[in-house]
Structure 1
Amino acid sequence: MATRRRFTQEYKDQAVCLVLDSGRSIAEVARSIGVHEMALGRWVKKAKGRRSESGKGPVRD
Structure 2
Amino acid sequence: MGSTRRSYTAEYEAQSTSYVIGGETVAEVARNVGVHEITLGKWVKMERQERE
Say if 2:44 is the partner of 1:27.
no
Instruction: Specify the structure having the higher radius of gyration (Cα).
Output: 1
Q: Which structure 1 residue ranges, 5 or more long, are not aligned?
A: 53-61
Runs in 1 of length 4+ with deviation above 3 angstroms?
none
User: How many angstroms apart in 1 are the aligned matches of 2:7 and 2:51?
Assistant: 23
Question: Higher relative CO (CA 8 A, sep ≥ 6), structure 1 or 2?
Answer: 2
* Equivalent in the alignment of 1:58: none
Which residue type is aligned with residue 13 of structure 2? Answer: K
Query: TM-score, with normalisation over the residues of structure 2?
Result: 0.90
Q: Shift of residue 3 of structure 1?
A: 1.4
**Aligned residue-pair number:** 51
* Equivalent in the alignment of 2:6: 5
Q: CA RMSD in A?
A: 0.9
What's the secondary structure of 2:6's corresponding residue? coil
Percent sequence identity over matched residues? 47
Q: Which structure 2 residue ranges, 5 or more long, are not aligned?
A: none
Which residue type is aligned with residue 33 of structure 1? Answer: V
* Equivalent in the alignment of 1:59: none
Q: Shift of residue 2 of structure 1?
A: 3.8
Query: TM-score, with normalisation over the residues of structure 1?
Result: 0.78
